[in-house]
Structure 1
Amino acid sequence: MDAAGPHAMIGDRLLCPGKVMRLTSPTITPSATPIRFRFDDREVEALPGETIAAALSAAEILAFRHTASGVPRGLWCGMGACWDCIVTVDGKAGQRACLVKAKAGMRVEGALPTAPAPLAEAPAEIAEHACDVLVVGAGPAGISAAIAAAHAGADVVVLDERAEAGGQYLKPLAPSHANASPDAQFRKGAALVEEARAAGIVIHHGATVWGGFAADEIAALVDGAAVTFRPKRLVLAPGAHERPVPVPGWTLPGVMTTGALQTLARAQRVSPAERVVIAGSGPLNLQLACELLAGGVQVAAVVEAAPKPGLGVWREMLTLARTAPDLAWDGLRYLATLKRAGVPVLWGATILGCEGSDRFTALHVATPDGERRIEAGVSALNMGFQPETGLARALGCAQRFSTEGPGAEIGRLETVTDEVGRSSIPGVFAIGDGAAIGGSRVALARGRLAGLAVARELGLSVAEDAAARRDLDQALAFQCALWRVFAAPAFDATAIADATVVCRCEEVTAGALRAAMGSDARTLAALKKQTRAGMGRCQGRMCGATMARLVGGNAEEAAFAAPRAPVRPIPAAALMRELPEGFDAPVIHDPVPTFWRSPAMPLAAENRACDVLVIGGGVLGLSTALYLAREGLDVLVADRSEPGLAASTANAGSLHVQLLSYDFGDKAEALGTAGPAAATLPLGPRSIELWKEIARDAGESCGIRTEGGLMLAETEAELAWLHGKTAVERGAGVENHVVGANELRDIAPYLTPRFLGAAFCPQEGQIDPLRGTAALLALAKRAGARVAGGVEVTGIARDGAGFKVATEGGTIRAGRVVVAAGPWSGRIAALAGVTLPVGGLVQQVIATEATAPIIPHLVAHAGRHLSFKQGPLGHLLIGGGWPGAYDAATGATRNRRESIEGNLWVAGHVVPAVAGLSVLRAWTGMNVHIDRAPILGEAPGCPGFFAAVTSSGYTLGPVAGRMTADAVLGREPVAPAFSIARFG
């Protein structure tokens, strides 16, 4: 055991528990008088210019907040990528303590506010800014590229999320301190920034790039205001983040990345504890240990995963000395310093876990000499890095799967580029560690080459730079040799204990992920939807790679979670822009199946024959299978992907009963002619009751709440229309009535007071579509239905009285076939010679961060596109039919910036509390487009072939499945209003 007493003499001073933990230095001194702010019920001292996290760390406050399950959390990445250190600042929720500067008198709280303060001003318009070159990221690569392009005559703008340029490697000293003798690293960073400013480059600090919708459409938040940048060339240099280290206890306060602790020590001049232990792999750990020692902190040990360098790496050592003698000398100096200080370097050691209850107390490691327990107040972990590729992927830049270098043993995506950084998307360059891990010198060289290449593409006269190419070659050789010296053991996902948290944001354990895999989730997408892993604020940055390895994903981009806009959480208020709503979402008449699918699987022997084949594993297909299997039929559900991965889990879970405004077409028409949609009115309440039965049978609530739905009227004309609409609905047996403004305020105090009234339908509500789909899948299997994923149907032909269905994995012989493939049903039916008038619509859903319960109802608007509710975990879910974009070549769907902005404006216009929340993600899904009534029953002229398609599919899935099952069983014919025969 390594332990220190309650008081430890370090350097020339005594560090005592409770004392402010600021590092000492003969040349670095505070530059201002301390200020004070309140954290919860405690007064905290801070220096002007330092972050909240630094001030709390200096006061030895490690737990900043508690999660939904009540466990404490503190600093992890220290650079704004993980969002684990969020606090409430002066009533503003979701503020990152590692980035927000401390100010005198501010109120910082670890809990969510009951009434969040607005995070930004809603814009009347969103500014557009054109420039020659836009650079995202002000680290070594980005600044180097910007300087090269600017010197050639280009108009260059740089966006960076931090308050100071330099990135992680060249980060400057915080304004809280002055440095009389900066080291070479500080000097290099300062010189680059000075050169950039002298070249006329505009650098926007604190700028968050939240979306890339095209090479010339980059959405950002600058000084709190939304701006759309329109560059002629785009250079992505967002840097990297440290990879996850999923060991027991890694979420404890006091466990953080090496980069986080180095930022505290090197830039902010604080330490969260008197005694620290550093573990992982790579020279950054050695550098941090020496910097802490120099500042007066005790380093208990440096735990290195790589074996101690010996004669076997002599060639690599020579390469290091030849290509970068200064860096090679630094490494030797670090080791010598640690040896003189008596700090053990434990080579070939493995991190077993972090101990502690409410904060870190000890690191448990395995060494070649046996296991050791190392006591300390803080542990810094680094097992390499992963590029920040989210923006490049959102733009469609090609990616490759890499297993080279530090952190790559877990696997990572890197952006495919040529030598100067050109990506697969014309006009887009990707450089530095944000494209591929290579270190600062590779980043500097590639940055310069990219800047020169950009200038040439803009038609500017630029000479070749042979020196930059030599620098790049040397830097690459150095980096490759360094990786071989610090070669960590392969990552073994099977070694992660079941109780270990994998997804920090949603608190999902390895055991929960394995349980989902045991229920046939075979891809990361399926794991996400069964467990919510990867759906939190960091969007999978801290868990995606681990999950991909757990599920054994292919070495390709599809194994990783798709990036969502916003690629970083963004204040909803900053994007609220009123847009015209007279749009019609474009109908896709023959949507191609999405480019993403589960790997094709050979058909199991038991899946080559069945009584009924259901094609499509969404809620309608699964409901049909459930009710058929309960009647003793042999049922097989075949899905080209995995059950429930399309619209069934891409929707927001609304349980609709009353008609929506677009069910009527032109509202000027008589309300009595609502058309096919009116015939569906009795189906909604029946289906919701079936959902409740499904939940009871599954033994869980499925998040079902039926506290009523409101359709709001803002004008006298809308109110009159609601009176007519509710009369139609009551005539069909649906309970619905109009309430006035005063009653509405009593029912829904969360609404803005501008509304004159609303239609209130008590039977409406919501369901958690992830839990509902999982429950339905489990019940169908329990009833005896078989479910096969990765089955692509390629042909349907008659086989006597039944059918012979060709798939990539073999032939299925079925007595009857039910097509329940949603918007792709027409494509499948055509294989059997049946025409189904089915198309698709791309629609979006937006999710905010969680907040206190405020909205019990399902909310819609009589005159605007809106569907609004609060999910069971506190997130606000915003939809309403705002359209997304569709790629006809691949079938992929994606967000449109204008739809996000307009949808958020309507939501904030209705519920003011939206302005105090951040948007976590927005996603799109392909919805069914039909004539608003279900298409069910046996196809005329094709006995035994049945259709099962409906709009409002999540609400009506169970009842439409019940009706389809009855039709297949010959019990009850489908009503003419819903029959496929109505199309002739």
Structure 2
Amino acid sequence: MVSRVIGSFCNTALSLPHGRQICHAAAMRLTHPSIRPTGQAISFRFNGQPIQALQGETVAAALSAAGVTTFRHTLSGAPRGLFCGMGACFDCVVTIDGRIGQRACLIPASEAMQVTGDDPATLTADPAPPQRQEGCDVLVIGGGVAGLSAAIAAAEASARVVLLDERHAPGGQFAKPLSPSHTDPTPDSQFRFGAELRARAERAGARLEADAMVWGAFAATEIAALVRGQSITYHPRRLILATGAHEAPVPIPGWTLPGVMTTGGLQSLVRSQRVCPGSRVLIAGNGPLNLQLACELLAGGVKPVAVLEAAPRPTIGAWRDFAGMARAAPDLLRNGAAMLRTLRQAGVDVVWGTTLDSLLGDDRVTQADAGGRSYAVDVVAMNMGFQPEVGLARALGVPHRRVERGPGYLSTETDAEGRTAIPGVFAVGDGAYLGGARVAAAAGRLAGLAAARELDFQTPPDRSARRAVARAERFQDALWRVFAAPPLPITDATIICRCEEITAARLRSEIAAGLTSLPALKKATRAGMGRCQGRFCTASIARLCPTPPDPDGYAAPRAPLRPVPAAPLMREAGEFTAPLLRHPAAPARLHALAPLPVETRHADIAVIGGGAVGLSTAYYLAQAGADVLLIDRDEAAMAASTANAGSLHVQLLSYDFDDATPADGGPAAHTLPLGPRSIALWKAIAAAAGEDLGLRTEGGLMLAEDAAGLDWLRRKSAMERRWGIESHILGSNELRALAPAVSDRMVGADFVPEEGYGDPLRGMMALLRLAQGAGTRLLRGAEVHAIERSASGWSLTTSKGCVSAGRVVNATGPWAARIGRMVGLDLPVTGTVQQVIVSEPAPVLTRHLIAVADRHLSLKQQASGGLLIGGGWFGRFDPTTGRTANLRENIEGNLWVSARAVPALNGLSILRAWTGINTAIDRAPLLGGAPGLPGFYNAVTANGYTLGPIAGQLTAEAILRQEPIDPHYSIERFN
């Protein structure tokens, strides 16, 4: 999108045709001497009302032309409409013909379609074509100027090139074509440039795939995409990322109101769709893109109210920059001056050194306040800069650096030809670093030639492209200096995360409480967890942090990188045993923490590990008056305990009970009585915290698909009842009556009324606050290196100094064996990497925890409407960094099983999938002291979210009251 910053100077100045009248309708289709509407007149319904449209225009354009700005309402009831106009923000999602979560800015309108802003009672899904695998020499992701230029260069060198672009036609924001609803026999230079790029790429033999969403990058040679509804995994020999940029957030009070858009979003309507959603348009922000939009509005018959420019008016001191711009690109400088002249002649004020203070309105924006003045408005367009779309590059592990310009952004590290540190991967254009259309074109060509050359294709010299990059970068640097503007202040009441409606005040309260990193703030508040994946809030949250985050301090990118329909991804996979991590390495990526002094600390009891078990232990100890210091290598409450699916298990799982299970049920059955006790403790924790923590215990269903599965459930249910668990076998009719959303193929179920689920994020934050409120002290960012006996009990050597304690609790989950070895214990504890998937919000489908006999699955629906899907499908582990990652085939298999149980998932998109390391043990907790090590205790369990509170309570009782540990849970069972 930044391509248009330079590109705005590329066109000849726009002026009003002689005698043109400025239109004052509330919303309108724009006129132009040469651009004519040619699309067939069609009609569709929005919330039951007829909307007239042109074949080829988007749903958003048709609604805007009809004066509709409110497309939907959030969970809180706030109105939302079109914002970014390029499919990045997901504010304009609507339901189209029963398919929820459709982006109105990208979906073409069609005759008789039914569009609503509400979720339907019944979900609809298109049948998914078979998945396929495809190879190519060079895969280019992104069809803007950089991507098309790279594809042309590689294809002209005879490489087999595939280019994937998410829109209906390549071109990106700068070189996008006119909508198919209109024709222009005399297109301007910008339209001609895009048409020439597309034609040249096709002549060279590059295959241009439109409507192609890349949703995951699992390796440089494993790129997952959805191309016109078909799931395709590409295996390229070289990969060129040209993913473009999106506009930076402009968080001010009222920026979420319908009618408030990014400048690029409104320009997409005005330039490509020939529509403006109002007549009183105010343009505000920073940079020449705002000037270009103002001129394009004038050319279409709309006179902007004003253009507010945050940068001060250039003074005589800027002559050096102007001189440099003139030497680098005199035509761009002339065209910029011509735009200012056009606005001046039309009577449009360009107000320098002025920023928006707030936006007001009810169901749409009606007033804008800026610089002590109020403007009556229908539409406000805002742009304060851009941010590269670096998600794919970061998912592949490409190094990045932070650029302190505007709100700050991440830039991909490359060499002069676009190579990254990952072999075979290139990154170019605004998606790598912000440089504009001319930089993008030249850099794309360099990368395309270099990729082809690495594959032994003959390529021409590239000296002219290198010179073009240098000239364009000199121009852009000078342009940024001329338009340098201070960042906007962020008031407490301002919504920062548009998707989750999180305010700056909420974030600042968490920062004041000690959470200082982006990932920690994300987990604590849900900021950045919505459909847009943090694109329009991360930069603002980073500004609030006490210290700007370094590149590793940003939340890890998750697949899918954008919401993607679940149905095309589903693929049956066989059942499995998750691989064990014998000695899992400590994670290298840690949260940013306030610095602590290295000093000696003292405590009666030191608890190592700040997960559900460690925090529960500390809470119950401190509540009883003990002096407790909790030590964590990272933030407390931020690891596996918040990465799990939130299930509150009571019944035996599929991998807990088989023909080899002992007569008494073995360790998993021995643990059954703890489940209801721990859930009762979770409810007490919720009451103490004063919130429900998303807890729901309306029962769990384990489904059977056939008679053999139902017979297995009967035997399992009998074992559960033997250990005091209420368990009922339901036939198909009883199952339908209890859970209508469950698939008709299920013949019965085991129903356990005490099962349920909770919100791990809310639960862990509540537990952390309660532990601190009870007196627990935290030592965060402290890695324990050694533990030795001392005269007073134990001495712990940590990265933050020594800790002396009378007693020590090892509550480090998958890393418990590492701590155990420090005191001479050989603990049979390992770990597994497990994944979780969450869908977009959906109508109420189930209130139960759902599993399937002989399958890996746990499925439940959150209060927000999203389906949370787990079940032990495993992910990848990097032993050198301690990082985990999803496996594409396990996302596909997990989704297939889920839809097998609840078919409505076929009509949903998934928002993201993530992984965490889960404790692996013999399915029973490991609690209590160890022989010969007085004062040293273990508190370790699988299913840690369910059993965390009871494991902590039993450990506290064993320490304070010398309560004996049940032999089924003690270390002695392994002797």
Q: For this structure pair, what is the TM-score category when the shorter chain's length is used for normalisation?
A: over 0.9
The CA deviation at 1:409 is 2.1
Contact kept, 8 Å, 2:85 with 2:266, in 1: the verdict is yes
Q: Per the alignment, do residues 882 and 11 of structure 1 end up closer, same or farther by CA in structure 2, a change over 3 Å counting? A: farther
Contact kept, 8 Å, 2:516 with 2:592, in 1: the verdict is no
Alpha-carbon distance in structure 2 between the residues aligned to 1:151 and 1:418:
23
Contact kept, 8 Å, 1:134 with 1:231, in 2: the verdict is yes
Contact kept, 8 Å, 1:540 with 1:561, in 2: the verdict is no
Alpha-carbon distance in structure 1 between the residues aligned to 2:829 and 2:932:
19
Contact kept, 8 Å, 2:24 with 2:302, in 1: the verdict is no
Alpha-carbon distance in structure 2 between the residues aligned to 1:528 and 1:128:
35
Contact kept, 8 Å, 1:10 with 1:298, in 2: the verdict is no
Q: Per the alignment, do residues 671 and 913 of structure 1 end up closer, same or farther by CA in structure 2, a change over 3 Å counting? A: farther
Q: Per the alignment, do residues 27 and 603 of structure 1 end up closer, same or farther by CA in structure 2, a change over 3 Å counting? A: closer
Which residue does 1:223 correspond to in 2?
228
Alpha-carbon distance in structure 1 between the residues aligned to 2:510 and 2:180:
48
Which residue does 2:375 correspond to in 1?
374
Which residue does 1:6 correspond to in 2?
none
Question: Aligned to 2:788, what secondary structure does the other structure show?
Answer: strand
Question: What letter corresponds to residue 127 of structure 2 in structure 1?
Answer: E
Which residue does 1:949 correspond to in 2?
940
Please point out which of 23, 26, 30 is paired with 1:15.
23
Equivalent positions of 1:88-103 (< 5 A) are 88-103=95-110
Which residue does 1:302 correspond to in 2?
307
Partner deviation per Cα, 1:612-643 (whole Å, 9 max, x = no partner)? 01111111111101111111110011111111
Contact kept, 8 Å, 1:719 with 1:758, in 2: the verdict is yes
Which residue does 2:508 correspond to in 1?
514
Which residue does 1:566 correspond to in 2?
560
The CA deviation at 1:353 is 1.5
Contact kept, 8 Å, 1:420 with 1:450, in 2: the verdict is yes
Question: What letter corresponds to residue 47 of structure 1 in structure 2?
Answer: L
Please point out which of 634, 648, 653 is paired with 1:655.
648
Give the stretch that moved more between structures: 217-226 or 828-837: 828-837
Please point out which of 108, 117, 139 is paired with 2:115.
108
Alpha-carbon distance in structure 2 between the residues aligned to 1:13 and 1:35:
28
Alpha-carbon distance in structure 1 between the residues aligned to 2:764 and 2:593:
22
Question: Aligned to 2:255, what secondary structure does the other structure show?
Answer: coil
Contact kept, 8 Å, 1:66 with 1:72, in 2: the verdict is yes
Question: What letter corresponds to residue 23 of structure 2 in structure 1?
Answer: L
Question: Aligned to 2:493, what secondary structure does the other structure show?
Answer: coil
Alpha-carbon distance in structure 2 between the residues aligned to 1:194 and 1:248:
45
Contact kept, 8 Å, 1:553 with 1:559, in 2: the verdict is no
Which residue does 1:730 correspond to in 2?
721
Question: What letter corresponds to residue 824 of structure 1 in structure 2?
Answer: W
Q: Per the alignment, do residues 182 and 599 of structure 1 end up closer, same or farther by CA in structure 2, a change over 3 Å counting? A: closer
Partner deviation per Cα, 1:258-316 (whole Å, 9 max, x = no partner)? 00011111111111111211111111111110110111001111111111112211111
Question: Aligned to 1:314, what secondary structure does the other structure show?
Answer: helix
The CA deviation at 1:696 is 1.1
Does residue 637 of structure 2 align to residue 644 of structure 1?
Answer: yes
Which residue does 2:5 correspond to in 1?
none
Equivalent positions of 1:173-192 (< 5 A) are 173-192=178-197
Which residue does 1:785 correspond to in 2?
776
Contact kept, 8 Å, 1:598 with 1:640, in 2: the verdict is no
Which residue does 1:332 correspond to in 2?
337
Which residue does 1:5 correspond to in 2?
none
Contiguous gaps of at least 5 residues in structure 2: 1-16
Q: Per the alignment, do residues 602 and 400 of structure 1 end up closer, same or farther by CA in structure 2, a change over 3 Å counting? A: closer
Which residue does 1:383 correspond to in 2?
384
Give the stretch that moved more between structures: 807-816 or 412-421: 807-816
Contact kept, 8 Å, 1:601 with 1:809, in 2: the verdict is no
Partner deviation per Cα, 1:29-52 (whole Å, 9 max, x = no partner)? 111332111111321111111111
Alpha-carbon distance in structure 2 between the residues aligned to 1:518 and 1:465:
53
Question: Aligned to 2:208, what secondary structure does the other structure show?
Answer: strand
Which residue does 2:673 correspond to in 1?
682
Which residue does 1:130 correspond to in 2?
135
The CA deviation at 1:671 is 6.2
Question: What letter corresponds to residue 453 of structure 1 in structure 2?
Answer: A
Alpha-carbon distance in structure 2 between the residues aligned to 1:40 and 1:365:
35
Equivalent positions of 1:199-238 (< 5 A) are 199-238=204-243
Does residue 65 of structure 2 align to residue 58 of structure 1?
Answer: yes
Does residue 697 of structure 2 align to residue 702 of structure 1?
Answer: no
Contact kept, 8 Å, 1:598 with 1:789, in 2: the verdict is no
Alpha-carbon distance in structure 2 between the residues aligned to 1:743 and 1:346:
69
Which residue does 2:14 correspond to in 1?
none
Alpha-carbon distance in structure 1 between the residues aligned to 2:690 and 2:337:
62
Equivalent positions of 1:951-970 (< 5 A) are 951-970=942-961
Give 4+ residue runs of structure 1 displaced > 4 Å after superposition: 599-607
Contact kept, 8 Å, 1:166 with 1:193, in 2: the verdict is yes
Alpha-carbon distance in structure 1 between the residues aligned to 2:497 and 2:191:
35
Which residue does 2:265 correspond to in 1?
260
Alpha-carbon distance in structure 2 between the residues aligned to 1:92 and 1:128:
27
Contact kept, 8 Å, 2:599 with 2:802, in 1: the verdict is no
Alpha-carbon distance in structure 1 between the residues aligned to 2:912 and 2:196:
38
Partner deviation per Cα, 1:791-826 (whole Å, 9 max, x = no partner)? 221221222131111111221111111011111121
Does residue 891 of structure 2 align to residue 900 of structure 1?
Answer: yes
Contact kept, 8 Å, 1:602 with 1:808, in 2: the verdict is no
Alpha-carbon distance in structure 1 between the residues aligned to 2:235 and 2:510:
43
Q: Per the alignment, do residues 798 and 599 of structure 1 end up closer, same or farther by CA in structure 2, a change over 3 Å counting? A: farther
Contact kept, 8 Å, 2:322 with 2:478, in 1: the verdict is yes
Alpha-carbon distance in structure 1 between the residues aligned to 2:916 and 2:255:
35
Which residue does 1:813 correspond to in 2?
804
Question: Aligned to 1:613, what secondary structure does the other structure show?
Answer: strand
Does residue 589 of structure 2 align to residue 596 of structure 1?
Answer: yes
The CA deviation at 1:716 is 1.7
Partner deviation per Cα, 1:662-698 (whole Å, 9 max, x = no partner)? 113xx23356253211110111111111111111111
Which residue does 1:251 correspond to in 2?
256
Question: Aligned to 1:456, what secondary structure does the other structure show?
Answer: helix
The CA deviation at 1:835 is 2.3
Give the stretch that moved more between structures: 24-33 or 167-176: 24-33
Question: What letter corresponds to residue 543 of structure 2 in structure 1?
Answer: R
Question: What letter corresponds to residue 83 of structure 2 in structure 1?
Answer: W
Q: Per the alignment, do residues 856 and 607 of structure 1 end up closer, same or farther by CA in structure 2, a change over 3 Å counting? A: farther
Which residue does 1:121 correspond to in 2?
127
Question: What letter corresponds to residue 92 of structure 2 in structure 1?
Answer: C
Contact kept, 8 Å, 1:671 with 1:728, in 2: the verdict is no
Q: CA RMSD, aligned part only? A: 1.5
Alpha-carbon distance in structure 2 between the residues aligned to 1:36 and 1:237:
37
Question: What letter corresponds to residue 455 of structure 1 in structure 2?
Answer: A
Q: Per the alignment, do residues 911 and 147 of structure 1 end up closer, same or farther by CA in structure 2, a change over 3 Å counting? A: same
Alpha-carbon distance in structure 2 between the residues aligned to 1:38 and 1:654:
41
Alpha-carbon distance in structure 2 between the residues aligned to 1:552 and 1:330:
42
Q: Per the alignment, do residues 106 and 527 of structure 1 end up closer, same or farther by CA in structure 2, a change over 3 Å counting? A: same
Alpha-carbon distance in structure 2 between the residues aligned to 1:513 and 1:675:
46
Alpha-carbon distance in structure 1 between the residues aligned to 2:131 and 2:551:
33
Alpha-carbon distance in structure 2 between the residues aligned to 1:562 and 1:548:
14
Q: Per the alignment, do residues 11 and 714 of structure 1 end up closer, same or farther by CA in structure 2, a change over 3 Å counting? A: farther
Alpha-carbon distance in structure 2 between the residues aligned to 1:834 and 1:801:
21
Please point out which of 882, 889, 893 is paired with 1:891.
882
Question: What letter corresponds to residue 132 of structure 2 in structure 1?
Answer: A
Does residue 578 of structure 2 align to residue 585 of structure 1?
Answer: yes
Equivalent positions of 1:688-837 (< 5 A) are 688-837=679-828
Question: Aligned to 2:172, what secondary structure does the other structure show?
Answer: coil
Question: What letter corresponds to residue 916 of structure 1 in structure 2?
Answer: G
Alpha-carbon distance in structure 1 between the residues aligned to 2:601 and 2:683:
34
Aligned residues: 959
TM-score (norm 1): 0.96
Alpha-carbon distance in structure 2 between the residues aligned to 1:11 and 1:823:
76
Question: Aligned to 1:537, what secondary structure does the other structure show?
Answer: coil
Please point out which of 487, 493, 496 is paired with 1:499.
493
Among the aligned pairs, what percent are the same residue?
57
Question: Aligned to 1:971, what secondary structure does the other structure show?
Answer: coil
Which residue does 2:401 correspond to in 1?
400
Does residue 349 of structure 2 align to residue 344 of structure 1?
Answer: yes
Alpha-carbon distance in structure 1 between the residues aligned to 2:361 and 2:733:
54
Question: Aligned to 2:305, what secondary structure does the other structure show?
Answer: strand
The CA deviation at 1:17 is 4.1
Give the stretch that moved more between structures: 938-947 or 956-965: 938-947
TM-score (norm 2): 0.97
Which residue does 2:411 correspond to in 1?
414
